[in-house]
Structure 1
Amino acid sequence: MPIHELATLTSKGQITLPKSVRQLLGVDTGGKVAFDLRDGEIVVSRADDEHEDPAIGAFLSLLTADIEAGRHVQVLPEDLARALLKNAELHVDLDAPIDGDVEL
């Protein structure tokens, strides 16, 4: 569903995100949004964690762009996946069975 909304820039460089954009992003008062420059366009997204590692964020942005462009995404080598998880301080058992359905 395409969306096109306009916002006016104030003299302080501020804008109000239109209600429809806030709803789609799932942000409310005090919520954080991120602005990313991609191919000459600004992409606005919800910022889930203000302490996000910029390298992981950049990697995920590239991965998202590949998926959206329909490019085939390769499986990460196991050692790289383990290193990413370790550096992200997540404790995930990569060998554990997956519960429920998985959608890609």
Structure 2
Amino acid sequence: MTTTMGAKGQVVVPKAIRDEVGLQPGDPIEFELRDGEVVLSRGSREMRPLGGRYADTDLLTGLMEDHAREVAEDLANDRR
């Protein structure tokens, strides 16, 4: 599949490919150079520790739980 790069270097990953590998908005994407080619792969979804004043709180855990709940609700609504 072919797509075009925009003026800011942005490209759209075709929907068929996003669906095949399960990419969702907000998922990290890793870029790698291999023998002169650019290879994209899904990045790690591991949680990174928060810094600053929120480092010793459960804020990230709460945000991740809220996000997972919203995604599940969206999926349930899409299936109706």
Higher helix share: 2
Query: Which aligned runs of 4 or more in structure 1 are off by greater than 4 angstroms?
Result: none
RMSD in angstroms over aligned alpha carbons?
2.1
User: Per-residue CA shift, 1:4-53, capped at 9, x if unaligned?
Assistant: x111111111111101121222211111111111112111110024789x
Bigger relative contact order, structure 1 or 2 (CA pairs below 8 A, ≥6 apart): 2
Q: TM-score normalized by structure 1?
A: 0.40
Gaps in structure 1 of 5+ consecutive residues? 53-104
Could you tell me which runs of 5 or more consecutive residues in structure 2 were left unpaired when the two chains were aligned.
49-80
Q: 2, 5, 26: which is aligned to 1:6?
A: 2
- The structure whose Rg is larger is 1
Counterpart for residue 35 of structure 2 = 39
**TM-score, normalising length from structure 2?**
0.50
Query: Is the contact made by 1:37 and 1:43 (CA closer than 8 Å) also made in structure 2?
Result: yes
Task: Give the aligned length.
Answer: 48
Does the C-alpha gap of structure 1 residues 39 and 22 become closer, same or farther in structure 2, counting only changes over 3 Å?
same
1:7 match: secondary structure: coil
- Give the equivalent residue in structure 1 for 2:24: 28
Structure 2 Cα separation of the partners of residues 24 and 15 of structure 1: 18
